[in-house]
Amino acid sequence: MLMMDVPNPTNQGESVELICSYELDEDKLYSVKWYKDDVEFYRYVPNDWPPGQFLPLQGVRVDLSKSGSQSVYLRNVDLNSAGVYRCEVSAEAPEFQTVEAEKEMKVLGKLPFVFRGL
């Protein structure tokens, strides 16, 4: 079972948490991979060191100190951060069962401040 939560829409300059909650039952976690528009940008592999790794991608700034096995934290989103996000959860051998979910995130640009006199 897999549930994904992506704040939508979000505002330019905000920090957001993308959540990928899952239950593995008897299986052990092998990896959680995050993609934006089909390009991987973050992976969490418990047996690797460090377990959380960021793969650079325009518009995606991962806060590794706040990201983990069930969520990834993006700092200072901008218009390049908008897109379709997907999390993919894989269990350990011998099954290597994989489940995934995806959701779109829209980013609203900042509106210019206009002063109108009386």
Domains of the chain, residue spans: 2-106
The dihedral of CA 20, 88, 6, 113: what is its sign?
A: positive
For residue range 57-73, what is the model confidence (pLDDT) as tens digits?
Answer: 999 999 999 999 999 99
* d(C-alpha 3, C-alpha 48), whole Å: 24
Contact criterion met (CB below 8 Å) for 87 and 6: no
Would you state the pLDDT for residue 113? Answer: 62
Cα 8 to Cα 83: distance, rounded to the nearest angstrom = 11
Residue 88 has a pLDDT of 96
pLDDT at 112: 63
Q: What is the pLDDT of residue 111?
A: 65
Better-scored residue on pLDDT, 77 or 118: 77
Residue 77's closest CA among 106, 35, 54? Answer: 106
pLDDT at 57: 95
What does the pLDDT average to over 16-24?
93
The superfamily (CATH) of domain 2-106 is: Immunoglobulins (2.60.40.10)
* Average pLDDT for 79-101: 92
> Is 97 a residue whose pLDDT tops 80?
yes
Digit-coded pLDDT (tens) for 35-50: 999 999 999 999 999 9
Greater confidence (94 vs 83) lies with 83
